[in-house]
Chains A and B, each alone.
Chain A
Amino acid sequence: MQIACPEASGAALRTVQTHESTAALVAHPGWFCPFSQRAWIVLEEKKVSYQYKETNPHTKDKNFLAINPKGLIPVISHKGVNVSESQVVMEYLEDITGPDVRMYPADALQRAVARMWIDHIAKKIVPCFFRVLQAQEVEKQRAAETDLLAGITDFVNAMDPGGPFFFGDWFSMVDAFIAPWMMRSEYVMKHFKGFDMPQRGSGPVWSRWWTFVEAVQTRKSVVDTTSELEHYLPNLQKYANDTAQTQAAKATREGRDYS
């Protein structure tokens, strides 16, 4: 699959440029990939020293396949070990960094709460974004929209009421896990599928949701790993036509959730 634009743009490009030199930890993200962006956000939040290597798994580059035979992104390479799966990478980054840049609660039980809501995002929110975007029939789209709003509602009801982030005034792994889809949410749903998500005035859930979205979208680590919107559109158009060939797209097409 051709990615229209081969590299990051805007703020993300500046971040890429400051991470070009060799480092012990090498990150292999795709600038366009939301799963990669999760891990990239955490790298930035924790100010980890890393080398950014742009990776497009669709080209099936031999060097990359040697690192990750499944050809999926993100992957990080550190001390001769390759770690794949966005959530595993995020847990690893938490494990190797100090309490001053903590992204999980210090308390073990609250950490379990964080992981439960990460699981919820992976199963009940993210797949719904793909299902809405890729729907080709009205009833399928409506069903996906209903599920998306239900998944979001449960998530919002678990949030700290003061906010703005999930756990309150500090940005955690839970926020980073869903952040890449925030940019895509309101605009993308409306632009590609004519789906108007409920607005602030619709009730306390939606008021809290949009406060959350705004706070996450404007977080520095999120801004610094986001490219210019126009460059995401050609890829997203392929999802909207249901012709995209990513693993996520194929899974959704086959009626399977992808996480």
Chain B
Amino acid sequence: MGIPDEKIFPHATGRAQNLVHAREGAADLVFHGSWFCPFVQRAWIVLEEKKLNYQWKEINPYKKDKEYLAINPKGLVPALTQKGVNVTESQVIMEYLEDISGPDVRMHPADPLQRAVARVWMDHIAKKIVPCFFRVLQAQESDKQKAAEKDLLAGITEFVEAMDPEGPYFFGNWFSMVDAFLIPWLIRQPAALKQFKGFEIPKAGSPVWDRWGLWMESCASRDSVKNTSSDQQHYLQILERYANDTAQSEAAKATRKGEVFT
């Protein structure tokens, strides 16, 4: 007797489906992902940006498959296997991909101090933006939802105020790790937040929201982002379970307990 989440739609759709087919062949670098997972998409975007050769293996993290548990005892996605070593945690994988690829496909600033700035803002995204998405979507009480909305807008505002003013990306005219770290949530969440919670993040109307709208649209139209995204209706189906707070992902459970999942 499994949980309903196990019956999740089994594969990518849209452009992501094409990409998955293109990445079926064996490769030295194996990327274990789930088509629907935003944490997976972070690292997937980086693989694509860096034009690395990899094999995609679809994992259903709700099924706790023994073979996969040998790779990641926590059963979470994403995971990366290369030279017999398994790497887990989206940010660790992204830093690894940066380490093994050349300066021509750099996604961190060359300057160490600016690299530190990038990591500070990735930490901010992880602690002050992403958890708020889950909190708004899973809220079952109006006051909890309002509090989460307020925190989400505050977290985003702080992030926008740190961006290069011209943009369109965080650091200006080049797409970096910071952008890849957050954009997956903006592919999935806005439609769900509007449909299930009647909430929209502003996309224009003041300098902050204009800049936010520019960032979002530029990141969303990036090839690496489009090619790793599935059709909206499939995301909405999954996010509906978050909206009625029955989802059983680790992120959902953590949010229910009032914790931050990173």
List residues of chain A with CB under 8 Å of any chain B CB: 78-79, 81, 83-85, 87-89, 91-92, 95-96, 108-109, 111-113, 115-116, 119, 123, 254-257, 259
Complex: A140 Cα to B192 Cα, angstroms? 37
Taking CB atoms, residues of chain A closer than 8 Å to B120 are 83-85, 88
User: How many Å from the CB of A161 to the closest CB on chain B?
Assistant: 17
Taking CB atoms, residues of chain B closer than 8 Å to A108 are 96, 99-100
Q: Which chain A residue lies CB-closest to B89?
A: A119
Q: Which B residues between 91 and 139 are near A, CB-CB below 8 angstroms?
A: 91-93, 95-96, 99-100, 112-113, 115-117, 119-120, 123
Q: How many A-B residue pairs have CB under 8 A?
A: 74
Selected contact of A81 from candidates B83, B92, B113, B258, CB within 8 Å = B113
Q: Is the CB of B258 within 8 A of A95?
A: no
Q: Which chain B residue lies CB-closest to A78?
A: B113
Q: Is the CB of B88 within 8 A of A95?
A: no
Complex: A84 Cα to B128 Cα, angstroms? 15
Q: Is the CB of A116 within 8 A of B92?
A: yes
Q: State how many residues of chain B have any CB contact under 8 Å with chain A.
A: 26
User: How many Å from the CB of A258 to the closest CB on chain B?
Assistant: 9
Given A81-B117, A95-B112, CB of A257 within 8 Å of CB of B99: no
Q: Is the CB of A256 within 8 A of B116?
A: no
Q: Is the CB of A255 within 8 A of B258?
A: yes
List residues of chain B with CB under 8 Å of any chain A CB: 82-83, 85, 87-89, 91-93, 95-96, 99-100, 112-113, 115-117, 119-120, 123, 257-260, 262
Q: Is the CB of B88 within 8 A of A116?
A: yes
User: How many Å from the CB of A234 to the closest CB on chain B?
Assistant: 29
Taking CB atoms, residues of chain A closer than 8 Å to B92 are 112, 115-116, 119
Q: Is the CB of A256 within 8 A of B259?
A: yes
Q: Is the CB of B99 within 8 A of A111?
A: yes
User: How many Å from the CB of B104 to the closest CB on chain A?
Assistant: 17
Selected contact of B85 from candidates A87, A92, A95, A112, CB within 8 Å = A112
Q: Is the CB of B89 within 8 A of A115?
A: yes
Taking CB atoms, residues of chain A closer than 8 Å to B258 are 254-256
Taking CB atoms, residues of chain A closer than 8 Å to B93 are 112
Complex: A95 Cα to B119 Cα, angstroms? 13
Complex: A84 Cα to B127 Cα, angstroms? 14
Q: Which chain B residue lies CB-closest to A104?
A: B99
User: How many Å from the CB of A127 to the closest CB on chain B?
Assistant: 10
Complex: A109 Cα to B115 Cα, angstroms? 20
Q: Is the CB of A255 within 8 A of B259?
A: yes
Q: Which chain B residue lies CB-closest to A88?
A: B119
Taking CB atoms, residues of chain A closer than 8 Å to B116 are 81, 83, 88-89, 91-92, 95
Complex: A116 Cα to B80 Cα, angstroms? 12
Taking CB atoms, residues of chain B closer than 8 Å to A255 are 257-259
User: How many Å from the CB of A248 to the closest CB on chain B?
Assistant: 13
Pick 19 A–B contacts, CB within 8 A, sort by A. A81-B113, A83-B117, A85-B120, A89-B116, A95-B115, A108-B96, A109-B82, A111-B96, A111-B99, A112-B95, A112-B96, A115-B96, A116-B89, A123-B262, A255-B258, A256-B259, A256-B260, A257-B260, A259-B262
Given A81-B117, A112-B95, A257-B259, CB of A96 within 8 Å of CB of B88: no
Complex: A150 Cα to B93 Cα, angstroms? 24
